[in-house]
Amino acid sequence: MSRIDVVVTGLGATTPLGGDVASTWDAMLAGRSGVSPLTQEWAAQLPVRIAAQLAVEPSGLLDRVKLRRLDRSEAIALIAAHQAWGDSGLADSGLDPERLGVSIGSGIGGALTLLAQDDILEASGPRRVSPHTIPMLMPNGPAAWVGLELGARAGVHSVASACATGAEAIALGLDMIRAGRADVVVAGGTEAVIHPLPLAGFSSMRAMSTRNDDPERASRPWDKGRDGFVIGEGAGVVVLERAEHAVARGARVYARLAGSGITSDGFDIVQPHPEGAGAIRAIAKAISDADVAKSDIVHVNAHATSTPVGDLAEITALRVALGDHPVLTATKSMSGHLLGAAGALESIATILTIRDSVVPPTINLDDPDDSLTLDVAANKARHMDVPAALNNSFGFGGHNVALVFTRP
């Protein structure tokens, strides 16, 4: 049996860099930072007072009554999914809803709703807790809302693998189409947890940058001065489609999702394996699944979150798994770390890198770590032919996901 090919026919995003894919991509190529000070009153007492907040508020795009029923992570997932759906041209294609699936996850879920409703519970008692609380905070909420609004009936899934969620959701979409369970899967990730509790939790782990006086320079993967990640919020969604289906309807194809590799470390709940063993296996599996050679992967959109340990473990893994030829970038230097949406946004960046033959920069790489032994598109975009590229995502819990995209 010949293998089912899967291609990307739609993109959607709302991020700290822009309210859609085009503006986000323009900002990335220009090397702009989406990180800014948190000016809310609650931020004053926190050790971390910076974040990559959405460039465009959902309140301008969805009506007030609808927003009352949506967690912020659900609202932005809907915005990104509708963009991707519109971009794909599938709306009027006569697609059988039973052949349409959804795979959209979140790393943390509806925490803003949980915390806001707990405030109401404490202040006013249980009767004042919103009847919309549960569908707003349930982790499958974003996928369920997207499935509802698009009428998807082939299955709605929501994986959760912390900061690998967005990539794993896309990998699951690939599996669904290959397994014959769907012709089209709307896949991606969403996250919106900029609130004192998650910030305090990550801060207590000493995982976040405290460069509060210089927000735009705080996210600095591979730089000697890096001191942790910068939290971001946003959603990224891609439309995956069986290649023959896309060709038959004359769809515009961005790229091919050629393969995926998923592994688990079995090592530590939060620390990456020091030699990147799980990451190496994930990359090797993705390359094998994509049926490409190591040498074909000329570019990697790295996970690189700007933490001291994680950034270098990934370099070690890439050297072993690919060699010393790929040109890397870390777009989190600009977008911040979108947690469960990161793998989706970075997949979109990887896809557009292939389409436009340009690698977006890693900004703030002023003084590269001595252990950075691979070539990075430092501080300015690099024009180069990219027939095939890899996107890495790793998550607390020891999740490793690698995706290979190629020119269609």
- Residue 351 has phi, psi (to 5 degrees) of -60, -45
Is 383 tagged catalytic? no
Taking the complex as a whole, how short is the minimal distance between the CB of residue 64 and other proteins, in angstroms? 7
Is residue 194 helix, strand or coil? coil
CB closer to other proteins out of 117 and 203: 117
Q: How many CB atoms lie within 10 A of CB 17?
A: 26
Query: Which positions ≥6 away from 22 have C-beta within 8 Å?
Result: none
Answer for the pair 168, 103: CB distance below 8 angstroms, yes or no.
Answer: no
- Between 128 and 325, whose beta carbon lies closer to other proteins? 128
Does the annotation count 325 as an active-site position? no
3-state secondary structure of 156: strand
Whose CA is closest to 346, among 233, 191, 220, 236? 236
The active-site residue, picked from 157, 163, 245, 299, is 163
H or E stretch at 203: helix 196-204
Neighbours of 176 (CB within 10 A): 23
Query: Which residues of the chain form contacts with other proteins (CB under 8 A)?
Result: 63-65, 68-69, 127-128, 130-132
CB of 65 to other proteins, least distance (A): 3
> Which positions ≥6 away from 300 have C-beta within 8 Å?
318, 322, 326, 327, 328, 329, 389, 390, 391, 392
Across-strand partners of 256? Answer: 7, 406
> Among 245, 273, 303, 399, which one carries the catalytic annotation?
303
- Burial category of 377 from C-beta neighbours within 10 Å (exposed 0-12, middle 13-18, buried 19 and up): buried
Longest Cα–Cα distance in the chain? 62
Whole-number minimum distance, CB 66 to other proteins, in Å? 8
User: What backbone phi and psi angles, to 5 degrees, belong to 126?
Assistant: -65, -30
CB of 131 to other proteins, least distance (A): 4
Is residue 189 within 8 Å of residue 342, measured between CB atoms? yes
User: CB-wise, 30 or 67, nearer to other proteins?
Assistant: 67
Beta bridge partners of 383: 358
- Closest to other proteins by CB, 128 vs 383, is 128
Angle (CA) 111-114-120 rounded to 5° is 140
User: In the complex with other proteins, which residue's Cβ is closer, 123 or 269?
Assistant: 123
**Contact by Cβ (8 Å): 387, 152:** no
* Other C-beta atoms lying within 10 Å of the C-beta of residue 266: 9
Closest CB 140 distance from other proteins, rounded Å: 17
Calpha distance 105→185 (Å, rounded): 13
Q: How many CB atoms lie within 10 A of CB 131?
A: 7
Supply the minimum distance, in Å, between the C-beta of residue 70 and other proteins. 13
Q: Of 68 and 206, which CB lies nearer to other proteins in the complex structure?
A: 68
CB 338 within 8 A of CB 169: no
In angstroms, what is the minimal distance from the CB of 206 to other proteins?
A: 41
Task: Provide the Cα torsion 325, 331, 142, 400; round to 10°.
Answer: 40
Reported as half-sphere exposure (CB side, CA atoms, 13 A), residue 402 has a value of 29
- Given the complex with other proteins, which of 132 and 249 has the nearer CB atom? 132
245 catalytic? Reply is no
Question: So which residues are the catalytic ones?
Answer: 163, 303, 337
